[in-house]
Chain A
Amino acid sequence: MKLTLKVWRQDNTQDKGRFETHQVVANEHMSFLEMMDVLNESLIAEKKVPVAFEHDCREGICGTCNMVINGRPHGPQKGTTVCQLHMRAFKDGDTIVIEPWRATAFPVIKDLVVDRSAFDRIIEAGGYISVNTGQAQDANAIPIEKDLSSQAFDAATCIGCGACVAACPNGSAMLFTSAKVAHLGLLPQGKVESSKRVQSMVSQMDEEGFGLCSNTGACEAECPKEISIVNIAMLNREYMSSVLGSKVTV
């Protein structure tokens, strides 16, 4: 299949950036990233600079393969990352527009690569459990209601890719932060620190310059792990009850 790619090129954060048009011959069994590899090999053969894009696991778990494809974070397929997207989702002769995540808190480093370290700092602010783990406990030592463990597990599937921020018209990081707060706060091991955690993480999220949540629902529609905005309601609830109902101040 013959494709026309309009790819965002930007040399560094300060550069204004521009679209570059390239022709690529791919086949429909390739993943989107493999198609990008084909493009880059031809650019290298022509002694041109290849398109910078992030990737690592290529199996939908690391959250690095981030691009906005034809206006949709992670492309047209629901509930998948770019590395899980295959060229059979496109037709011969298609023009594909590829852009980086856009949000002030995610500045472009080069081409399609953005700096998502703001997410790391949100995690550092409280997205952990501070106990010495020692040996793994017996799985049945702490009884957990099935509903709760499922809810926590669903939230835990967040891979930190940032598609929620990319999709949000406000560049808000509420879905990501809520997934982490829910994942840890729903389980007994994480509940202990939940009052402090939620305040620290929200405070860091605000400091990073993410936008506010207007409840548009754009994030959950584009999240490759289909994290629900029910988690955002839970984050709001936890935050308010922590600020108003606990002795914790952050």
Chain B
Amino acid sequence: MSWLTKFLTSSIGRKLIMSLTGLFLVLFLIVHLAGNLQLLINDQGATFNAYAYTMTHNPLIKFIAYGNYFFILLHAVQGILLAIKNRQAKGSKYAVSTNKTASWASKNMALLGILIFAFLCIHMGDFWFKMKFTDIPMVAVEGLDYKVANLYSKVEASFAQWWIVLIYLIGLLALAYHLQHGFQSAFQTLGLNHKKYTPLIHSLGRIFSIVLPLGYAIIPILYLGNSMGWWTWFG
């Protein structure tokens, strides 16, 4: 075995892959949220549609997007394999359960990951797949000399269904717990545990684990309420 294969298949090497891909996904989550919050602008989706057009047509962004798909798959496959390996390494269970000291999230990262993955499949099927492979009506946007797909109206239609919104909220709750343990864990895996910085990393992790899912959750909730007439966000 070459030194590199040995490294990447060693216990620490495999965790390094989890950590780096996980942190990349956190970065992605931040950028994706910033983009999606444009859905809250009250302009019949003009800003958002133009943004979505750029995201699907810029070659650099396309390249990063494919990298992103690859990292999610790598993270998910590796995560499941680790969970199986760890279950085998533990073998039998205690009659009286131990580790009340370890957080629930830290012991259920694979379960949370599978929930996130299931959500991602539904999410991609609903928007990305339809955007790519079905005809979404085109609209003109002020200031652009070409027409763009009206993804906004697709979002509006999806988020008018309460069960889709519910699936989103479940996915986001799983993400919240995944990040609650995952963010700080990734730094420990990288070997970064320091008296001065670790408390900051823990706080940042807690903030991310609340703010990111909450930021995402606001969008479907506002849309659902709007379509149900609970409130009027869009005039």
* Interface positions of A (Cβ within 8 A of B): 6, 8, 19, 68, 70-73, 97, 99, 102-105, 166-172, 174, 202-203, 205-206, 209-218, 221-222, 229-230, 232-240, 243-244, 249
Contacts and interface: CB of A to CB of B under 8 A. Distances in A.
Nearest to B182: A215
Contacts of A70: 96
A169 B12 contact: no
Contacts of A71: 94, 96-98, 100
Contacts of B10: 202-203, 206, 239
A214 B100 CA distance: 15
Given A215-B188, A216-B107, A243 B86 contact: no
B11 A103 contact: no
A218 B6 CA distance: 28
Contact of A211 (B12, B85, B189): B85
9 contacts: A6-B95, A170-B90, A171-B90, A211-B86, A212-B11, A212-B85, A236-B189, A237-B191, A249-B3
Nearest to A230: B193
B192 interface: yes
Interface string B74-105: 00000000100110111111111111111100
Contacts of A221: 99, 101-102
B206 interface: no
Interface of B: 3, 6-7, 10-16, 82, 85-86, 88-103, 106-107, 109, 181, 184-185, 188-193
A171 B91 contact: yes
B188 A68 contact: no
A77 B185 CA distance: 27
Contact of A105 (B6, B15, B89, B106): B89
A167 B190 CA distance: 23
